[in-house]
Structure 1
C-alpha cells in the first residue's frame, strides 16, 4: 500500500500508511472542489467523519460557503493556477466565480487547519478520478466512520469495566454499554443489517479476571455457605454456573442447585458424590481438598453471590467490548457485519444485566389481590321506578 503524508495529523514530513478510506476522503473533497454543485447530494456526512483535521476543515468550508454556478466544462488546472498566483482580479472569463470560491474555501479552512495551501486543494482535486462518483466516495467514508465510532465506544466499555477506581463500577459500565448500543443503532440506521452478515473475525479469548485469587476465594466461601444453608440457594436464581471463574466451582454450584431442586439432602458428602457423578472432579487430584473447603461456611450466601455476579457482569462487559473492538479492527468486515456482530456481543451482556437487576432490586411480593365488589342480590332498580320516586 502506498505511503501518503497526512497533513496536520502526524506533523510535517511524517508519512504513515494510508487506508483506502483516506483516498475516498481525498476523492470526495476533490469532487466537491471541482464540482461544488454536487454537495446537496452528499447527505448523512459531516466534518467529523473525516480522519484528518485538514480534510474536516476543507469539508466544513465547502459546506459553509454557497456554491458557485456550475461551469461547463470546468478548467480545474487554470482555476488552481490562478489561485496560486493570487491575482488582483478574480480570474478570466467564466471561471472567475469558481476561482473566487476556491479562494474563500482555502481561507475558511485555514481557520481550522493552519498551513493549508492552494497546493493541498490541487492535490485533492487531482486525487478524484471521477467527480460523478462522489456518492460512492461518501458511502465509503460513512462506513469507515462507523467503524471508528464502534471501536472508540467499545474501547470506552472495556476500559470502564476494568477501572478499579470507580465507586460504582457496574452502573458506570452498563451506562457505557448503553452508549455503545446507541452507536450500533446509529450505524444500523445507515447500514441496515441483513441475514448472513456475521463477522468472520476470530473471537478474542476470554481474559482471566484481574483479581483471580480473590474471586476464587469468594467462590469457595459461597459454595461452603450454600452447602451449610441450602435454603438460601432458592433465593439466588439469578446466579448461574457461568458466573464462576473456575470450572470446578461452576460444576459444584451446578451440583448444589441440582440437589436443592430435587429436594435431596445437601451436605459436603452429598455434594462431593454429585460432583463425581457429573464428572466435576475429573481434574481434582484429591477430593479431600474439595471436601475441606465445602465444610467452612463464612458469610451469607446472597451477599457472596452478589459479589460473584458483579464480577461476572464486569467480565462479560469487558469481553463484549473486546469482541466489538476485534470486529472493528478487521477491515474485511462490512458495516452490516459490524452491526450483527456487535448486537450479538451485547446480547450476552443484556442477559446477565437482567440477572443483576434481579439480584440488586428490592424483593417485591406478589401484587395484592383485589377483592371484587359485592354483587347485589336483589333485583336491579328500573329506570321507571327511579323516575317515579323522583316525581313524588
Structure 2
C-alpha cells in the first residue's frame, strides 16, 4: 500500500491562547472604577506595577491620579472616561475609547473591588517570586560570573526578603503546603575538572588524614560522583572511630560498606587514592562550591515550579518557597564554615599571683600580759 504523508494541521496566526483569570479580574476592577470612581477608596494598597497587562496598569494609574468628577456630572456626561483617556492615551497608544467601554462591560460587581484587588496583588506576588527564582537559576548556572557563589547567595537573599514581605501581608491558614510535584533535579557537573578535583581530595585526605576532623562541613552528598561520596564516607567513618587511615584501611572499609562490585574493584579504589596533591581543605572547598551552586539551581527550579502552578494560593507559594530556601541555607551555613577564617582562640587569663601562706608562728604575749602564778 502506498504511504500517504500525514498532513500537519494548519497554523492559524490568529488562534491565540485564552486569557488567564487574572485578565478578567483586572478588567472587572478597572470597569468598576470607571463606573463608580469612589470605589477606589476600598481597594487597599495597589499600584500600576501590580497589573499583569501594562495597558491595565496605565488605566489604573490614571484612575488613581485624577480627581473624580462630581457624581451628578458623572451620571450625565462621560467626563471621567475622557479624562482617563486623555491622561493615559499618550503613554499607551493601544488604549481606545472602545476598550474603555469594554472594561465597563466587564465591571462585574463594583462592590467587590476589594476582592478583585486582592486577586491582582496575589498574581503579582506569584509573578514576582517567579522572576526572583529565574534570577537565582541564572546565577547558579552562569560560569562567566567572577563570583557565582556570591551572586547566587545575593539572589537568594533578595528572594528571602520578598517572601518575608509577602508573608507579612498574608494571614496563615492550615493546609498551606504546595500541591505541585517537585521538578526533576538538574544533573550534577561530572566533567573532567570536577571529577579530577574530587579524586585528588580523596587521595590527599587518605595520605594526610589529620585534616578530616577539621572538614566536618563537607558531606558525602556534596560530591558530584556518587562513588566519590561513598569513599569520603569511608574516610570519615575511619577517622571518627580513631582507626588508622591509609589506602589499605580505606579499601577494607569499602568492602564492609558494600562499595566493591564487578564494575568497581579493589584496584580501581587504590588508583583513586594514589594521587595526593596540595591541600585537602582547598579541594574540599571546590567540591562544596559546586554543591552549593547545584543546590541553588535545584532550589530555583522548585520555586519556579511553585510559581508556575496557578492552583497554589499565595500562602502555599510562600510556604513552599521558604522550605526550598531552607535546604539551600543548610548548604550555605556549611559553606561559611568552610570559607570563614577560624577565629584564634584567646589565651586563657592567668590567675593573679597569690602569696603562699607560711607556717603559723605562735605569738609571744607581752611580759605584762602573762599570767603570774
Number of equivalences: 344
* Counterpart for residue 267 of structure 2: 288
Partner secondary structure for residue 281 of structure 1:
coil
Measured at CA, do residues 62 and 94 of structure 1 come closer, stay the same or move farther in structure 2, by a change above 3 Å?
closer
Tell me if structure 1 keeps the 8 A contact 2:55–2:94: no
Measured at CA, do residues 22 and 368 of structure 1 come closer, stay the same or move farther in structure 2, by a change above 3 Å?
farther
Measured at CA, do residues 31 and 376 of structure 1 come closer, stay the same or move farther in structure 2, by a change above 3 Å?
farther
Q: Are 1:312 and 2:291 counterparts?
A: yes
Tell me if structure 2 keeps the 8 A contact 1:37–1:70: no
Q: Are 1:254 and 2:201 counterparts?
A: no
- Separation in 2 of the partners of 1:314 and 1:67? 53
- Separation in 2 of the partners of 1:246 and 1:272? 18
- Separation in 2 of the partners of 1:199 and 1:376? 72
Q: 1:97-108 maps to which residues of 2 (within 5 A)?
A: 99-108=78-87
- Separation in 1 of the partners of 2:262 and 2:58? 62
- Separation in 1 of the partners of 2:84 and 2:291? 53
Deviation at 1:293, TM superposition (A): 1.0
* Counterpart for residue 337 of structure 1: 316
Q: 1:200-279 maps to which residues of 2 (within 5 A)?
A: 200-210=179-189, 212-279=191-258
Tell me if structure 2 keeps the 8 A contact 1:197–1:337: yes
Tell me the TM-score normalized by structure 1.
0.83
* Counterpart for residue 68 of structure 1: 69
Deviation at 1:94, TM superposition (A): 6.2
* Counterpart for residue 359 of structure 1: 338
Deviation at 1:95, TM superposition (A): 2.4
Q: Are 1:135 and 2:114 counterparts?
A: yes
- Show CA shifts across 1:46-100 (max 9, x none): 10111111101000000101123445xxxxxxxxxxxxxxxxxxxxx6624x621
* Counterpart for residue 18 of structure 1: 19
* Counterpart for residue 77 of structure 1: none
Deviation at 1:298, TM superposition (A): 1.9
Partner secondary structure for residue 17 of structure 1:
coil
Measured at CA, do residues 14 and 56 of structure 1 come closer, stay the same or move farther in structure 2, by a change above 3 Å?
farther
* Counterpart for residue 113 of structure 1: 92
* Counterpart for residue 95 of structure 1: 75
- Show CA shifts across 1:258-283 (max 9, x none): 11111101111211221221223357
Deviation at 1:340, TM superposition (A): 0.7
Measured at CA, do residues 303 and 127 of structure 1 come closer, stay the same or move farther in structure 2, by a change above 3 Å?
same
Deviation at 1:368, TM superposition (A): 4.0
* Counterpart for residue 147 of structure 1: 126
- Separation in 1 of the partners of 2:99 and 2:353? 87
- Separation in 1 of the partners of 2:336 and 2:87? 52
- Separation in 2 of the partners of 1:208 and 1:355? 22
* Counterpart for residue 143 of structure 2: 164
Larger radius of gyration: 2
- Show CA shifts across 1:100-158 (max 9, x none): 12211111111321131111111011112211111111111111111100000000000
- Separation in 2 of the partners of 1:154 and 1:119? 38
* Counterpart for residue 56 of structure 1: 57
Ranges in structure 1 where 5+ consecutive residues have no aligned partner:
1-11, 72-92, 378-392
Measured at CA, do residues 54 and 274 of structure 1 come closer, stay the same or move farther in structure 2, by a change above 3 Å?
same
Tell me if structure 1 keeps the 8 A contact 2:211–2:280: yes
* Counterpart for residue 169 of structure 2: 190
Tell me if structure 2 keeps the 8 A contact 1:53–1:112: no
Measured at CA, do residues 276 and 94 of structure 1 come closer, stay the same or move farther in structure 2, by a change above 3 Å?
closer
* Counterpart for residue 303 of structure 2: 324
- Separation in 2 of the partners of 1:150 and 1:191? 15
Tell me the TM-score normalized by structure 2.
0.87
* Counterpart for residue 74 of structure 1: none
Measured at CA, do residues 366 and 69 of structure 1 come closer, stay the same or move farther in structure 2, by a change above 3 Å?
farther
Tell me if structure 2 keeps the 8 A contact 1:37–1:69: no
Deviation at 1:317, TM superposition (A): 0.6
